[in-house]
Structure 1
Amino acid sequence: MTSADILYVGGPTAVIELGGVRLLTDPTFDAPGTYAVGSRALVKTAGPARTATEIAPVDAVLLSHDQHPDNLDTAGRRYLAEAPLALSTASAYDRIGAPVRALPSWDHLELPCPDGGVLRVTAVPALHGPEGSEPLVGEVTGFVLSGEGLPTVYVSGDNASLGVVRTITDRLGPVDLALLFAGAARTPLVPDAPLTLTSRDAAEAARILGARHVVPLHFEHWAHFTEDGPTLAKAFADASLPDRLHLLEPGSSVRL
């Protein structure tokens, strides 16, 4: 089996190289600052480790959702506009248009690998908060990447539900690598529950998925995250899964 290369750019943004195919998750390249979301604001505390111009061209963007600036910001939108393809929700397509392509949950698209074969990208459900929060937070998606001779990779997007993780595992089987959006994000929009996985739930998600490796994303660089890298490390240690966790420094990469 070939390996997967992950470059952590910062926030929810990472480059995945799998079978010679390059994918970028949730493009966010803006500087630190305060960013409006309707009548509210989100505070970005650190910029990306790579600028948009430093990211080589990719074959596709995996966009969990477009409606929040911590998942798609102004510079990210400019990058997205030049991408050959972006896979996301129907809502994102309605708002952005090309190059976004709506990929409903459980549908898939096959991308050709340079050395033959295909990389299958399957859209999977995601719940950006507790049950019933969808009208407030909007539509979100995750992805599972797979192919013959390739590791299976789960990209959670902004999912906070272990029930969703169980459904994905039941339907698509275990994964080799999970990119989990964590950080236990909290905002006044949904004051009583996190909008992304807590550290403890991230460790439990790894167990449910059977993931041999976990690379957390979207757990730092914004003020609305309530848990961080040390919290993740403790949760995985408490779950007797410390060897599965790969906490990357922004700008660093790992081959798994």
Structure 2
Amino acid sequence: MTGVLVKICGLNDPAAVRAAAEAGADMVGFMFYPRSPRAVTPARVAELARGLPAGIVRVAVLVDPDDALVDAVTATGVIDLLQLHGRETPERILALKARTGLPVMKVLPVADRADVEAAAAYDGVVDRIMFDARPPKDMAGALPGGNALSFDWRLLVGLRLATPWTLAGGLTVENVAEAVRLTGAGSVDTSSGVEDRPGVKSPDKIRAFVAAAKAAGPEAAQGDVGGRATLAPSAARP
């Protein structure tokens, strides 16, 4: 499949991983954050990811990780891309890229225009930027992502970055086409939008979401110039 790049995040069971692969997802994400209902261990991800077809990018989702966790995750040999969902600075990101030899996607929480403008500090530093919804301060149990919240997509209209970017936050089969049309996103990400309940993915919803996102069409991929080369899995991975 071509067109919009699709990432299915928070995978933690074989049926969901298989559904994402068979549906044509370009990226699959594994959450290494203990507070998340989607959390997995490095050993578990090694089992889940090794059977994936070549060409699907395996993403480790991390929140302000220390070096020990990064080393444990990358030692599995199945990770192609680090997704950083905390308060990582450009300096920390450069250190992690040097330590691991892997590309990095930085997630930026968005509630207003200033949040979008914060991407300038990471433009050209990271290999991909993701814009996700910033949870309200009074939201009980809020996670860094996967809260089924969206933000005002109009904040991204006219966005110009040298770095490919991804749209996330409350995306579902019902709204992903409109989100792509409005923002020109060339890449989208969903987790809660393809779940029956937090942490439990629906293979049917995964298939429907990938189909809807891909049907949005390649003409919408303004935000992903050069993105496919950036996401190429490592040839060194067994």
TM range (shorter): 0.3 to 0.5
Q: Which TM-score applies when normalising by structure 2?
A: 0.40
**Bigger strand fraction:** 1
Which structure exhibits the higher relative contact order, with contacts defined as CA atoms closer than 8 Å and separated by 6 or more residues?
Answer: 2
Q: Which TM-score applies when normalising by structure 1?
A: 0.38
**Bigger helix fraction:** 2
